[in-house]
Structure 1
Amino acid sequence: MGGTQSLALPPGKGPHQVGCADVMVGHTRQGLFLRLFYPCLPRAGAERPLWIPRYEYCRGLADFTRRSRLWCAPLFSIAIGSCKVPVSWNGPFKPCSSGYPLIIFSHGLGAFRTLYSSVCSELASWGFTVAALEHRDHSASATYFCKAEAGREEWIPYQRVPQGQKEFYFRNKQDSVDLTKVAVMGHSFGGVTAVLALVKEPSFRCAVALDAWMFPLENALYPKVPKPVLFINTEKFQTPESIAKMKRLSSRNSQTKIITILGSVHQSQTDFTFLTGKLINRFLGLRGTLDPYKGLDITSRAALAFLQRHLNLEEEFDQWDNLLEGIGDSVVPEAPFCRSKL
């Protein structure tokens, strides 16, 4: 894919068309807010939702990247504010007699519910319902809830670690997930949240952690992670210390896998990798050398193979089992820079 390609999110490659809807439960910050991706019925002239739903999220991204709202928020809005997600907004749900498996997706620090639309819609196109949460614990770049009084919103900004507080203790108590569905997935801070969810909620049968930021996970919790985890790492983010923490889990469970996608950076597993032109990419370092479409293929196919194995699905996702062993183009087992040391 050369540099002439337009800046747009890719549609799902699976056999199902994808719909999405926003769901808000409750009129307090303790309620749930999520974007649901699901297989849907075809609908002529279907509306496509904006990728950045509100201008306030542009301000939140400016705050998270430590840039001035005065110029950075308008830059985000102009550059990517008109981008739409290639799914059917509120499209009719496609009936399924056996029911679709459910994945709970947890975003990373400074993100929000739409920033992983590519991987979420890709998984939905293969027959999953994916609930992309938007956290209200100040780890999102911005979020809000609607108060009981009609039309009144309360916005919750991103919160940095307060001066004088240790980052481990501050982040460790954020972003807990207590849901009872089938599988959990997340990126960065959301990746370690997915691992923690296996401890907190017995109903989760496995976790997929995209470039997990392992730092906030307490050492005492490692022996308590009871279920398999698939760690899909990028080449430029992880450290030997972080990989060592992942290997502590894989040494306890042979079904826990660690792979690294070569030519990728931390943001390669977000939608930014598809939407940043040369200016913003150079400014924020959001794209690696690997073609982003190829990176998405590796990520989604490895996840599908892993989910089939641990959710007992009767699909053909096992055709990608080699990826779970780090076998394939642009993928290696564990981490290339520290395999000989650990």
Structure 2
Amino acid sequence: MLSLPPVHGRFPVGVTTFATPVRPSRRVGNAQLKSVKVSSAGRTYALNLEEVAFAAYYPADTSNKPPKSIDWLVRPLKHSLTGISNYSGLSYWLLWPIVFFFGSLIKIPVYRNAPLLRPEEASGSLEKQWPLVIFSHGLGGSRTTYSQFCSRLAASGRVVLALEHRDGTGIASIPKSWGIGDKSTNEPVLYLREEDVFWKDNEVVKEYPKPLRGEQLNFRRDEVYIMYETFQKFLRGDAGVEMETLDGAPFDKASWTNLTSEGASVIKHHDDITFTGHSFGSATGFSLLATQTPQGYQRIPISKLVLLDPWMDPLPSPGPELYQSKEQPQEPPKVLVINSEAFTLWKDHFSRLQDVMSVWEPQGQRILTILGSQHISFSDFAVLPGLVKGHGRLIMNVIGQLSLAFLDDTLDETLKEGIPTTKMTVELVGTKKDGTPKKKLAGEVGHVVVS
């Protein structure tokens, strides 16, 4: 068995994957598939919201010795293989030996479906609750491909809900059946490219520079609201809530719904919520707070954003800016951006990010760049056993340190005493194939530039 690196922290980490149906299911946007096999539902539209799924990473009660291993790649592997081929543009047949060999072996070293640890037992505090974090993956991601980052947060004493977006940005996902009358088709949702869809005349979402990504942002926002609302009802023990494990496996429901001795939920879900995401997931965070709360949903009380290598291209320009209304004014969240060296050297993109951050965080320098990092450094792909070499673990550790320091309000101290910082100095190191200069940031791998 090949395993991702173990994550060390105050608490052992459990993972349980939940799903909830969307009733009635609905279409989001007008994008249609250029090539589609007629399904039992006869669907040709690209984005159909029929189920929301997410993996919860959390401090685990391991007293009953639950199994310590979950699959890293989404099953069935044949669907993941097709999705990876769509995403990468590489041949299905070229990829299948690698995907089937490594995909069947790689595991995440966490406790599957373990009970949620009671915070009082962990800390001895009668008022202690686990803080809530929402995580959104990037293009080609899934509920498990950021397990290192999510587990790091969970091991520190947080509950992280990592969405598996069903908007065609993930490699592959398989909805489950929810019963007669409004059941899922169980057809896999695979990765979608811009060239895979089309719109009829006058149906394109013109406010977005990338129309498909714009409709996917709308889809993702709905998923976040539905997940949050359902999870709250579940914690309250509402009888009518529909939320089950995605694979149908049993779990200790009482460990989630029991109250503390003070009568509070064991998870702090009414305020001070953190939203975090990578790449398109970071764009989702900006979009969530820059748009009006949809009718029928409650505003999510997000107080902090941790944005990992945010991809700004799908978002309307100028902006985004924090949405404000007289009826539901929002307190500006604290925002931290952790950038890869590659995205910081992407001059036009970095300039736009700086402009946006000057509005969201006008009082602080909150864009940090990790030297030697790449766009994949924030995901598990950077530390896959047997496939990736170099400084992946070092950089992943720095990402975790910076994120936790920000959430614990100790970032300034960490940058002064814990993690070496350096000034931004751009060096020319050669020429690219297209003849343009090849650049890098001067300094040691893992050091941080504050800008």
Structure 1 stretch displaced more, 253-262 or 34-43: 253-262
Q: Structure 1: how far apart are the matches of 2:321 and 2:134?
A: 23
Alignment partner of 1:31 is 2:51: yes
Matches within 5 A, 1:188-207: 188-200=279-291, 201=299, 203-207=301-305
Q: What is the letter of the counterpart of residue 212 of structure 2?
A: F
Name which of 381, 401, 413 aligns with 1:272. 381
Q: Is the 8 A contact 2:3 2:385 kept in 1?
A: no
Name which of 10, 14, 18 aligns with 2:13. 18
User: Please, which runs of 5 or more residues in structure 1 have no aligned partner?
Assistant: 1-5, 282-286, 310-315, 336-342
Q: Is the 8 A contact 1:302 1:323 kept in 2?
A: no
User: Please, which runs of 5 or more residues in structure 2 have no aligned partner?
Assistant: 26-48, 121-127, 200-207, 229-268, 292-298, 324-331, 423-443
Structure 1 stretch displaced more, 83-92 or 300-309: 300-309
CA-to-partner distance for each residue in 1:37-79, whole Å, 9 max, x for gaps?
0001124362411111310223211221111222313312213
* TM superposition score normalised by structure 1: 0.82
Matches within 5 A, 1:151-300: 153-162=186-195, 168-175=210-217, 176-177=220-221, 178-179=224-225, 182-200=273-291, 201=299, 203-224=301-322, 226-238=332-344, 239-252=346-359, 253=361, 254-255=363-364, 257-275=366-384, 277=386, 289=390, 291-300=391-400
Check 1:116–1:164 CA distance in 2 against 1; reply closer, same or farther (3 A cut). same
Q: Structure 2: how far apart are the matches of 1:213 and 1:299?
A: 17
**SS of equivalent to 1:303:** helix
**SS of equivalent to 2:130:** coil
Give how far 1:276 is off. 5.5
**SS of equivalent to 2:174:** strand
Q: Structure 2: how far apart are the matches of 1:79 and 1:12?
A: 20
Q: Is the 8 A contact 1:49 1:89 kept in 2?
A: yes
Alignment partner of 1:105 is 2:135: yes
Check 1:125–1:327 CA distance in 2 against 1; reply closer, same or farther (3 A cut). same
Alignment partner of 1:320 is 2:418: no
Give how far 1:325 is off. 9.6
**SS of equivalent to 2:321:** helix
Q: Structure 2: how far apart are the matches of 1:135 and 1:202?
A: 18
Root mean square deviation of aligned Cα: 2.8
Give how far 1:82 is off. 0.8
Check 1:240–1:334 CA distance in 2 against 1; reply closer, same or farther (3 A cut). farther
**SS of equivalent to 2:107:** coil
Match of 1:128 in 2: 158
Q: Is the 8 A contact 2:146 2:380 kept in 1?
A: yes
Alignment partner of 1:44 is 2:77: no
Q: What is the letter of the counterpart of residue 12 of structure 1?
A: V
Q: What is the letter of the counterpart of residue 214 of structure 2?
A: N
Q: Indicate the percent of aligned positions where both proteins have the same amino acid.
A: 29
Q: Structure 2: how far apart are the matches of 1:154 and 1:35?
A: 20
Name which of 97, 110, 114 aligns with 1:87. 110
Q: Structure 2: how far apart are the matches of 1:322 and 1:100?
A: 28
**SS of equivalent to 1:223:** coil
CA-to-partner distance for each residue in 1:158-177, whole Å, 9 max, x for gaps?
11103778962221231332
Check 1:323–1:204 CA distance in 2 against 1; reply closer, same or farther (3 A cut). farther
Higher CA-based Rg: 2
Give how far 1:155 is off. 1.2
**SS of equivalent to 1:84:** strand
Report the count of equivalent residues: 315
Check 1:110–1:323 CA distance in 2 against 1; reply closer, same or farther (3 A cut). farther
* TM superposition score normalised by structure 2: 0.63
Q: What is the letter of the counterpart of residue 259 of structure 1?
A: L
> Which structure's residues are more often strand, by fraction?
2
Structure 1 stretch displaced more, 147-156 or 199-208: 147-156
Q: What is the letter of the counterpart of residue 218 of structure 1?
A: P
Name which of 392, 396, 408 aligns with 1:308. 408
Match of 1:340 in 2: none
Q: Structure 1: how far apart are the matches of 2:447 and 2:209?
A: 32
Q: What is the letter of the counterpart of residue 341 of structure 2?
A: E
Structure 1 stretch displaced more, 73-82 or 318-327: 318-327
CA-to-partner distance for each residue in 1:186-232, whole Å, 9 max, x for gaps?
11111111222232455111211111111112124333364232111
Q: Is the 8 A contact 1:257 1:325 kept in 2?
A: no
Q: Is the 8 A contact 2:335 2:366 kept in 1?
A: yes
Match of 1:333 in 2: 449
